[in-house]
Amino acid sequence: MPEVVTDEDGITRCQWGTTAVDYISYHDTEWGRPESNEFRLFEKLCLEGFQSGLSWLTILRRREGFRAAFFGFDYNRVAGMTERDVERLVQDEAIIRHRGKIESTINNARMAQALVTEYGTLGAYFWSYEPADYGRPAATSPESKAMAKDLKRRGFTFVGPTTLHAFMQAMGIINDHMPACFAYAEVEAARSRFDRPSP
């Protein structure tokens, strides 16, 4: 399977970004763009956890449902959710009705609050794992493995090395667009301008 595909309009994209209509906009305008917004970072962390065992397309098509269910991924509000909310959400057809993943999102919101107390922002924590020299591994990186180990130590759940590598790809902490993809250069330029959050 080719790494990139050139459409009839002459635009060359990563192959995965052409496999469904929903993917094209996500690939072209979101994936890999550097992000520091607290709620966007928390959203992606949670949605990567929900994706475990599923396709990202399944999650992407339910993203608005997830946002409605979890207060736009305002982790301070999610942290206050109760067992009653869990029971309600396991009946919510707009999301993935997996009790363990719903409970994990609430748990991780509480852990995120503790992380912010220590680092000031979620961005400061996550961007501290940006590799100095990225070698484009297939599914994980030393940094995603280190982050997974640290987050698990802190009490986070559904945060394995593969999940966190995908999170780093999506949030622009690394640029995993194929070099021949039109977005690769755009992401590199955006990363060069990006003001990385610090503690």
Token readout for 99 is 């009790």
Average pLDDT, the chain: 96
What average pLDDT does the segment 178-184 reach?
Answer: 96
What average pLDDT does the segment 47-66 reach?
Answer: 96
What average pLDDT does the segment 60-75 reach?
Answer: 98
Q: What are phi and psi of 58, to 5 degrees?
A: -60, -45
| Percent share of the chain, pLDDT over 70 | 99
CB of 172 within 8 A of CB of 180?
no
What average pLDDT does the segment 151-170 reach?
Answer: 97
The SS3 of residue 13 is strand
CB of 28 within 8 A of CB of 192?
no
What average pLDDT does the segment 115-131 reach?
Answer: 97
How would residue 133 be classed by pLDDT, with cut points 50, 70 and 90? confident
Which of 16, 26, 119, 134 is an active site residue? 26
Which of 31, 56, 127, 184 is an active site residue? 56
Nearest in space to 156 (alpha carbons), one of 114, 93, 128: 114
The per-residue pLDDT for range 6-49, each reduced to its tens digit, is 988 899 999 999 999 999 999 999 999 999 999 999 999 999 99
The per-residue pLDDT for range 78-90, each reduced to its tens digit, is 999 999 999 999 9
CB of 105 within 8 A of CB of 70?
yes
In this prediction, residue 1 carries a pLDDT of 66
What average pLDDT does the segment 99-113 reach?
Answer: 98
Identify how many contiguous H helices and E strands the chain contains and give both numbers. Answer: 11, 2
Domains of the chain: 4-193 (1.10.340.30)
The H or E element that residue 41 is part of is: helix 38-51
Hunting for tokens 């690939």 — which residue is that? 27
Nearest in space to 187 (alpha carbons), one of 10, 43, 19, 27: 27
Residue 43 known to be catalytic:
no
CB of 115 within 8 A of CB of 75?
no
User: Is the confidence at residue 134, as pLDDT, over 90?
Assistant: no
Q: What are phi and psi of 167, to 5 degrees?
A: -60, -45
User: Is the confidence at residue 137, as pLDDT, over 80?
Assistant: no
Which of 35, 38, 43, 48 is an active site residue? 48
Residue 35 known to be catalytic:
no
Residue 23 known to be catalytic:
no
In the chain the first and final C-alpha atoms are separated, in Å, by 42
Q: What angle do CA 144, 147, 150 make, to 5 degrees?
A: 150
